[in-house]
Amino acid sequence: MSRIFNFSPGPATLPLAVLEQAQQEMTDWHGTGMSVMEMSHRGKEFISIAEKAEASLREVMNIPEHYKVLFLQGGASSQFAMVPLNLMGKARKADYFDTGAWSAKAIKEAARYGHVNIVASSKDESYSTIPDRVLWELNENAAYVHFTPNETIGGLEFDAEPETGDVPLVADMSSTILSRPIDVDKYGIIYAGAQKNIGPAGLTIVIVREDLVGHASANTPAMMDYAVHDKAESMYNTPPTFAWYIAGMVFDWLLKNGGLSAMAEINERKASALYDCIDNSGGFYTNPVDKIYRSWMNVPFVMADSSQDAAFLAGAAEAGLVQLKGHRSVGGMRASIYNAMPEEGVQALISYMQDFQQKNG
């Protein structure tokens, strides 16, 4: 069977070149006679893989030396707890933006450990926009400010980082990391589950400014303490070795293909083409998000007649376009077009959408 175009929000499509390299090395990595999945995480073979992966990530994201890079587990959801446990300190208060389902989950978890001030919320607008900056209520005494740059479910994306002064900025970049260049120095912590734009599920990347490490609350479990993982070089317990290995190859794939500037150009083209298709459909397809805050990575859309959704999805699957069903809380369809989704895949989806409209409009 030939490869399909997989628009899953995560676990998501991976670069074919990476999959083919993993296939070649599956049973014998670099003449060792064993698979990466069989290696001891403390053996020299895997240590070389781990060190190379971190070096490649630092290069592709231009991560300064005064930031620690941790390869952890637990997904972004574990970071909803780790961030307040490590950063709230004696202040016991933090600022959070409420712009979608994932930021709401982060808020709910953080409230277990201290006071959460909602800087701004678009819940009353069904998370279709970012509140105007003049309405933001930032607390200069907050331990940190948390935001979700891209909301995977609603397809809502900040157009720039919030300016927080001396208060550390924390970002859940699970669905937008590596999609374009960013200035890491603007952040206190960046975290991301790997299964969207990095690699297989099971790995979580945390990039943390070194002065923020070592301040965990007294009763913080060892597994939730950044300092413990930093001291152990991300090997306090057995890490997800195969996911770490694949992630390293994805970082190298990005470097070989022009880095994040080149990726940003491709991603913007993909998203613009798909939104143009939606906007030029005469209302047959619509996207509910404020145009200036539309996501590059996750494009939700609905049809004027929702009774046609099932036929649309079935026809798409027959055409080799899969995982397009929207989240149950939003409905309709959603196309996740992360880095590894080629432009041909987006064009194939657009052609199918236009054909479906012509036959059913």
Contact status, residue 81 vs residue 109, Cβ threshold 8 Å: yes
CA 287 vs CA 156, 278, 283: distances in Å: 11, 7, 9
Q: Report which of 351, 352, 295, 342 is spatially closest to residue 16, judged by C-alpha positions.
A: 342
Cβ within 8 Å of residue 146, ≥6 positions away: 83, 94, 95, 96, 97, 103, 106, 110, 170, 171, 172
H or E stretch at 64: none
Q: Which residues are the active-site residues? A: 102, 172, 196
CA 46 vs CA 2, 35, 84: distances in Å: 32, 10, 32
Contact status, residue 128 vs residue 295, Cβ threshold 8 Å: no
- The structure tokens 């930093």 sit at 230
Q: Can you list the alpha helix ranges (DSSP code H) found in 92-225?
A: 101-110
- Residue 302, token pair as written in the block: 């609905």
Residue-by-residue DSSP string for 199-217? SSTT-EEEEEEGGGTT---
Neighbours of 354 (CB within 10 A): 16
Q: Which residue type, as a one-letter code, is found at position 298?
A: N
Q: Which residue type, as a one-letter code, is found at position 125?
A: E
